[in-house]
Amino acid sequence: MIDLSAFSLEGRTVMVTGANTGIGQGIALAIARAGGRVIGVSRSAMDETERLVDVIGGAFVPVRADLADATVAQSTFDTCWNSSGPIDGLVNNAGIIRRADAVDVARADWDDVMNVNLKSMFFLCQSLARRALAEQRGAKIVNIASVLSFQGGVRVAAYTASKSAVLGITRLMTNEWAARGINVNAIVPGYIDTNNTAALRADPDRSEAILGRIPAGRWGQPSDIGDTAVFMLSRASDYMHGASVAVDGGWLAR
């Protein structure tokens, strides 16, 4: 018999970055449904996410912060820990993308993407690990990677580099922290129905080409990623370390 309590987040507090919309919002809602309290971090307002969590009777704490600055990211984490109590889980979902041919990528755009997608992600993980290790607490970290962690892509050099690095850092942290009670894993989303893919879905030719490669025959939903995150944050994944789980409708299998 399956122990369903192993998938519960009751009594746990989880920080989710980029919780204002899309995948981050889907993750926040899934955590709330599983009984967890969500600390949502975003530079944008999270009113809709807060409302949706409230509708299902969950707890949501919105925190505005610009994760383009790793120093701000770390100070935000410490403030949340000190004011809201220990943080049991961290989902590094916040990310940006800048499109240009590789020969035209501007240094400022490269730095902007790396600062959010990689630098602040790393230092948020470090902040959680420092506090958890100091208090001899377990913790769960879920980093959001991409199918471009495995593929090159086109016109997204900085994004591809950052998401490839997310998997490398996830494995490194696993090697250093697994024996000390901290699980670090990654989710690899495919093409998800969010604002970021609105232009692709609106282009009949591009949408048809994408769907033609996805064995499942549909775009993913934020809830698909959210439910996987709940598993990785729960007791059910206690022996799961350094894994990268593709939630892509089979995209990488083609």
Domains present along the chain, CATH in parentheses: 4-192+225-245 (3.40.50.720)
CA distance linking residue 112 with residue 203, whole number of Å: 27
Known catalytic residue at 159 = yes
Low pLDDT (below 50) residues in the chain: none
**In this structure, what token pair is assigned to residue 246?**
């593709």
Instruction: Tell me which residue of 135, 53, 59, 41 sits closest to 95, measured CA to CA.
Output: 41
Concatenate the DSSP letters of all residues of 151-190 into one string. Answer: S--SS-HHHHHHHHHHHHHHHHHHHHHGGGTEEEEEEEE-
The whole-model pTM stands at: 0.97
- pLDDT tens digits for range 11-24: 999 999 999 999 99
* Model pLDDT, residue 200: 84
* Model pLDDT, residue 1: 63
- pLDDT tens digits for range 165-211: 999 999 999 999 999 999 999 999 999 999 888 888 999 999 999 99
What percent of the chain clears pLDDT 90, i.e. is strictly above it? 96
* Model pLDDT, residue 162: 98
Choosing from 81, 159, 177, 251, the catalytic residue is 159
